[in-house]
């Protein structure tokens, strides 16, 4: 007979296991790791609300007809059209690829608009756009292949004690680490796991790692791994490399101690003891976010993105 509170004794119905739907476009989830929302019309409206946009924007539809007609090479790619519907400028916003406004030498798009408003010729009509290449819908086949590989990856679980948790908690890797204490017999834990694994995948190409800490009976390690596999709690190829560099085999663990007090002291003494419990620490081990109970995924994503920033940076080597 299975121990009380184990995976086997309190098996969840299949309806409680949420599979991630496959991407329906040429944009895989990890390519949205520098933005808070997804690349949809609904989420564009959320950006408009958050940023106070007071101008109309065009949804190009599933066929991307307008972008193709304009010859959009990258995002962003600026097209300035005058009152006669003639294209007067095409290219970048400005000449700097860096977030610091002080690095801008030529504000080409602004200069073009101001010249047209003043009835003057555009100073420079064409510049090179810089940004991510346009993700055409034909790329969906490549994304589907990536999705198939992702769905086939196996989740593994290792045993860990309080000392092992303390070592992970110190975190000298430079990565953000999101720790989630959970158990398969905890309904809120099961319900929030898809949100956590979706966040992990969103930031899987950035300096970020989800670490799950199960409070199930260590004898139930295999059923726990099976559940986590269905939830796609699997490391990306990039994360797998950093795990190997750290001498680790997985990002999923099952706690072996009889008492959770040492676990609390190792991870976060402010943990009141209930599950689920989630803690985000930075690359120096500083707590950036802690939450007892089911997370608000939007709130958590915002904390992560505010820390990682929306800008591309070159990752530091593991352990640095």
Fill in the DSSP letter of residue 126: B
Going by pLDDT thresholds of 50, 70 and 90, the confidence category of residue 25 is: low
pLDDT for residue 218: 97
Per the CB < 8 A criterion, the answer to whether 7 and 224 are in contact is yes
Q: pLDDT (tens digit, 9 = 90+) per residue, 165-208? A: 999 999 888 899 999 999 999 999 999 999 999 999 999 888 99
Confidence check: pLDDT of 320 > 70: no
pLDDT for residue 37: 81
Cα separation of 212 and 195, whole Å? 13
- Mind listing the domains of the chain with CATH numbers? 41-133 (3.40.30.10), 153-308 (3.40.30.10)
Q: What is the mean pLDDT of the chain?
A: 86
Confidence check: pLDDT of 3 > 60: no
Confidence check: pLDDT of 30 > 90: no
Residue 167: CB partners within 8 Å, gap ≥ 6? none
Per the CB < 8 A criterion, the answer to whether 143 and 137 are in contact is no
Going by pLDDT thresholds of 50, 70 and 90, the confidence category of residue 60 is: confident
CA distances to 57, 141, 147, 163, 196 from 24, rounded to whole Å, are 22, 10, 10, 43, 21
Among 259, 275, 258, residue whose Cα is nearest residue 191: 275
Per this entry, what is the length of the chain? 320
Cα separation of 209 and 33, whole Å? 13
Measure CA 274 to chain center.
26
Cα separation of 184 and 182, whole Å? 7
CA distances to 34, 97, 244, 254 from 312, rounded to whole Å, are 7, 10, 24, 34
* 219/315: higher pLDDT: 219
Cα separation of 320 and 316, whole Å? 6
């Amino acid at each position: 007979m299975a121990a009380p509170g184990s995976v086997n004794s309190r098996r969840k119905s299949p309806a409680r296991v949420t599979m991630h739907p496959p991407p329906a476009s040429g944009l895989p989830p990890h390519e949205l790791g520098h933005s808070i929302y997804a690349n949809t019309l609904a989420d564009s409206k959320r950006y408009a609300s958050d940023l106070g946009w007071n101008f109309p924007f065009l949804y190009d539809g599933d066929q991307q007809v307008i972008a193709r007609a304009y010859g959009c090479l990258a995002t962003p790619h600026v097209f300035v059209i005058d009152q006669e519907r003639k294209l007067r400028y095409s290219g970048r916003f400005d000449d700097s690829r860096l977030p610091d406004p002080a690095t801008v030498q030529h504000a080409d798009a602004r200069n073009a608009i101001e010249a047209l408003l003043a009835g003057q010729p555009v100073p420079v009509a064409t510049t090179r756009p810089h940004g991510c290449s346009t993700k055409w819908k034909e790329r969906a086949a490549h994304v589907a292949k990536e999705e198939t590989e992702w769905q086939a990856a196996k989740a593994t679980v290792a045993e860990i004690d309080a000392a092992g948790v303390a070592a992970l908690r110190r975190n000298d890797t430079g990565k953000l680490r999101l720790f989630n204490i959970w158990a398969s017999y905890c309904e809120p834990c099961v319900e929030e796991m898809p949100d956590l694994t979706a966040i992990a995948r969103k930031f899987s190409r950035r300096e970020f790692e989800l670490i799950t800490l199960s409070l199930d009976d260590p004898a139930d390690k295999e059923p726990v791994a099976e559940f986590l596999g269905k939830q796609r709690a699997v490391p990306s190829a990039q994360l797998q490399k950093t795990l190997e560099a750290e001498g680790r085999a997985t990002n999923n663990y099952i706690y072996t101690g009889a008492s959770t007090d040492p676990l609390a002291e190792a991870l976060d003494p402010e943990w009141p003891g209930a599950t689920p419990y989630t803690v985000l620490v930075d690359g120096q081990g500083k707590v950036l976010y802690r939450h007892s109970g089911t997370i608000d995924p939007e709130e958590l994503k915002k904390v992560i993105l505010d820390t990682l920033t929306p800008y591309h940076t070159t990752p530091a080597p593991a352990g640095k």
